Structure 1
Amino acid sequence: MTDYERAAFERLLKIARSDTGQSRRAAAFLLAWWNADRLGGFDLTDLFGVDQVIAADMGTVFVCLGRQSQAFYPEEYRTEIEALIEAWRPEIWAESQS
């Protein structure tokens, strides 16, 4: 992940920690990457519901993932991703803590 891609990813994480429609969409995008089967997919039409800057950051992350030869998850951000799961998918988070 380049510095530019990491910055886009970190901006999306920051947005996803809020409680707005754009935050919900940013969280859905990130969580779909982490585990779409378990945490839900990302509806591409949600791009119409975010500012162009946020959509561009999603595009940057998407291109980054497309360059990888195998599955890639930024493990150093596991705590932040888990916080998103807890906030946006509380039933799944509770299940995982049992």
Structure 2
Amino acid sequence: MNDKQRAALERLIDHAQRDSGQSRRCADFLLAWWNAAACGGFDMTELWSLDDEIAADMVTVFAYLATAEKKYPDQLGYEPQFRAILAQWHPESP
């Protein structure tokens, strides 16, 4: 993960830990990467409801996922942040 991709991911994590509609969409996007079966997927049309900067960060992270080694966010050192996002937005999930 390069610096641009890491910065985009960290901005999305920051947004996902807030309390807004855009935060929920960021959380859904990130959690679909971590565990779509347990957390649900991400509706691509949700991009239309996001600020351009947030959507651009999602595109950057998605491009990373498409070209990178198969790594989950916890393998990149983001497990605590993703667990916090999961607890906030999907408290019923394990």
User: TM-score of the superposition, structure 1-length normalised?
Assistant: 0.90
Match of 2:80 in 1: 79
Secondary structure of 1:19's counterpart equals coil
The DSSP-based 3-state class of the residue aligned with 2:58 is helix
2:81 maps to 1:49: no
Between the aligned partners of 2:54 and 2:22, the Cα distance in structure 1 is 8
Alignment of 1:1-98 (within 5 A): 1-69=1-69, 71-75=70-74, 76-92=77-93, 96=94
| 2:71 alignment partner AA | F
Moved over 4 A (4+): none
Cα RMSD over matched residues?
A: 0.8
What one-letter code is carried by the residue in structure 2 that aligns with 1:33? W
| Percent identical | 51
User: Post-superposition shift, 1:72?
Assistant: 1.1
**TM-score, normalising length: structure 2:** 0.94
The structural deviation recorded for 1:74 is: 3.0
Say how many residue pairs are matched: 92
- Give ranges in structure 1 of 5+ residues lacking alignment: none
Unaligned runs of 5+ in 2: none
